[in-house]
Amino acid sequence: MERTAHKSLPLILAREFASNLATPLAVIDEQGTLAFFNEPAERIIGQSFAELGNLSEEEWRARFNAERRDGTSLSVDEMPTSVARRLRRPAHETMVLTMLDGQQRTLSVTAIPMLGRERDLAGVVVVFWEDNGA
């Protein structure tokens, strides 16, 4: 059953912004639901947003296995998206993710909280790119 993410103005604007970029970008709402990812992100994730749809945090975390470059696992609380949501500050990590297509990719991930005028959390913008160690 597909859920519809809460459509706050910052989320709508972030989705529009993402859809016009060549940089892989995802938008997560204040509850951790995957609200959108753009076409460049689709190439890394291995599926389109139209195919995947809105996923709760538990659902999308279950689909992507994350670990550090040294092979140690990353806890949910250590993930950049969790840090950005919980602490309301940007967070960055380079990690190895097993994607939907089964491929392992080393990604640099930066999560930036979207804070409203009253410092209320509207969601998180996630920028990521393949990191080949260069």
- Domains, the chain: 9-130 (3.30.450.20)
Judge contact between 100 and 75, C-beta under 8 A: no
DSSP E strand boundaries for the chain: 25-29, 34-37, 65-67, 91-98, 104-115, 121-130
Lookup result for tokens 């639901």? 33
- Dihedral sign for Cα 15, 33, 127, 122, please: positive
- Length of the chain (residues): 134
Q: Provide the pLDDT for residue 4.
A: 45
Q: Provide the pLDDT for residue 7.
A: 66
| pTM assigned to the model | 0.86
Residue by residue, pLDDT tens for the chain (134 residues) are 344 445 689 999 999 999 999 999 999 999 999 999 999 999 888 889 999 889 888 888 778 888 999 989 888 889 999 999 999 999 999 999 887 677 889 999 999 999 988 889 999 999 999 987 65
